[in-house]
């Protein structure tokens, strides 16, 4: 049936003849009572769906079990004490993992699911993640900042799946090596240039190949390229000026643009240029006389950065 506020309500009841006690796992057929649970489910055609589910309480006939009465479990439909079905909870977890709280809430509303951003984040935090005893084949190691410049941790990633495996609270060779020993199976370790991660990988997984990650490879290439060009800076500058001078069209464009400026702006620019040149000549004159930088800055009214 459909309510007046455009909500689809499904009336369901459990039909199993028996249930197992969650304490002793003994089967029971004796019904104690019935009660109703209201559950939110995935929307249908954009209409929110609510399930009114009638469930039963059973007697536990085992004399050694301390739980005399128990509620039948519907593990594939709804979890214990939950107000959402399992499939709705799984959908919300996927939305939250992809978009976060606020953006996930807006998308869920468009899909007909009413949940705030705080609700989505709380549900994601309650999610139980089973730690994997086996380490990834290709492991990426890098640091991350609790507080930049003061405190750092270590992030471990599975580079083949593109997922974070674990976070360590500090940045040390001992904790990283301990994690590698507890999670064997790593064949390739991709790391930065820090010696502590190299030491940890060499100590804990000597058989693994150590490589530099993509970012540091590009960073090293950039530094090498700049280092190769710096000794030839003067030659490169002269070549660039010669090319600009020979190119008639590009060199004519700035002049044409300058001619289009109003005379008042041109006069102001010329005055500023003369003022800067005069200050520069005064500074250089005192530099040739051996005057200190502080005295030059005080007498000429200039900053120490240009003295």
Beta strand extents in 182-241 (DSSP E only): 188-191, 209-212
Claim to verify: residue 117 and residue 159 sit in the same structural domain:
no
Element (H, E) at 283: helix 263-288
How many beta carbons lie within 10 A of that of residue 27, not counting itself? 13
Q: Is 104 helix (H, G, I), strand (E, B) or coil?
A: helix
The answer to whether residues 149 and 202 belong to one domain is yes
The boundaries of the domain holding residue 270 are 261-306
292 within a domain of the structure (yes/no): yes
pLDDT of 301 over the 80 cut: no
Task: Give the span between the Cα atoms of 18 and 29, in whole angstroms.
Answer: 5
Could you tell me the CATH number of the domain that includes residue 149? 3.30.420.110
Q: Is residue 229 one of the residues assigned to a domain?
A: no
Mean pLDDT, range 153-159, rounded to an integer: 91
Distance CA 18, CA 60 (A): 11
Task: Report the candidate in 187, 175, 177 with the shortest Cα–Cα distance to residue 139.
Answer: 187
Is residue 234 in some structural domain? no
Do 189 and 173 touch, CB atoms closer than 8 A? Answer: no
pTM greater than 0.85 (yes/no): no
- Residue 31 covered by a domain: yes
pLDDT of residue 134: 80
Tokens at residue 60, please? Answer: 């536990």
Q: Is residue 239 part of a domain?
A: no
* Residue 33 covered by a domain: yes
For residue 73, which of 32, 149, 116, 19 has the smallest C-alpha distance?
Answer: 19
pLDDT per position as a tens digit, 24-80: 888 999 999 999 999 999 998 888 899 999 999 999 988 888 888 999 988 889 988
Domain-ending residue, one of 49, 68, 83: 83
* Overall number of domains in the chain: 4
Q: Is residue 3 part of a domain?
A: no
Q: Quote the tokens at residue 201.
A: 């990988």
Mean pLDDT of 252-256: 48
Mean pLDDT over the full length of the chain: 84
Would 148 be classed as within a structural domain? yes
Crossing angle of helices 173-182 and 195-204, rounded to 10°:
30
Q: Region 192-209: what's the mean pLDDT? A: 89
> Is pLDDT at 209 greater than 90 in this prediction?
yes
């Amino acid at each position: 049936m459909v309510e007046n506020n455009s909500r689809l309500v499904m009336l369901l009841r459990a039909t199993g003849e028996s249930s197992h006690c969650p304490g002793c796992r003994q089967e029971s057929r004796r019904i104690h009572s019935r009660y109703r649970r209201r559950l939110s489910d995935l929307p249908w055609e954009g209409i929110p769906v609510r399930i009114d589910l009638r469930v039963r309480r059973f007697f536990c006939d085992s004399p050694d079990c301390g739980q005399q009465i128990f509620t039948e479990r519907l593990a594939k439909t709804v979890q214990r004490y939950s107000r959402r079905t399992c499939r709705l909870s799984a959908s919300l977890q996927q939305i939250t993992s992809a978009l976060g709280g606020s953006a996930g809430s807006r998308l869920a509303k468009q899909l007909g699911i009413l949940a705030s951003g705080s609700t989505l984040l709380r549900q994601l935090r309650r999610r139980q993640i089973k730690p994997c005893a086996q380490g990834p084949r290709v492991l990426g190691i890098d640091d991350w900042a609790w507080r930049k410049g003061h405190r750092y941790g270590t992030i471990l990633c599975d580079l083949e799946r593109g997922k974070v495996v674990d976070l360590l609270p500090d940045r040390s060779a001992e904790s990283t090596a301990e994690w590698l020993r507890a999670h064997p199976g790593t064949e390739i370790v991709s790391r930065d240039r820090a010696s502590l991660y190299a030491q940890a990988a060499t100590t804990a997984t000597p058989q693994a190949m150590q490589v530099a990650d993509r970012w540091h490879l590009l960073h090293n290439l950039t530094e090498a390229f700049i280092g190769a060009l710096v000794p030839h800076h003067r030659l490169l500058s002269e070549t660039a000026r010669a090319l600009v001078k020979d190119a008639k069209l590009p060199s004519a464009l700035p002049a044409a643009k300058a001619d289009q400026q109003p005379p008042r702006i041109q006069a102001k620019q010329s005055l500023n240029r003369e003022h800067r040149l005069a200050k520069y000549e005064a500074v250089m004159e005192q530099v040739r006389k051996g005057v200190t930088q502080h005295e030059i800055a005080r007498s000429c009214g200039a900053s120490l950065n240009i003295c």
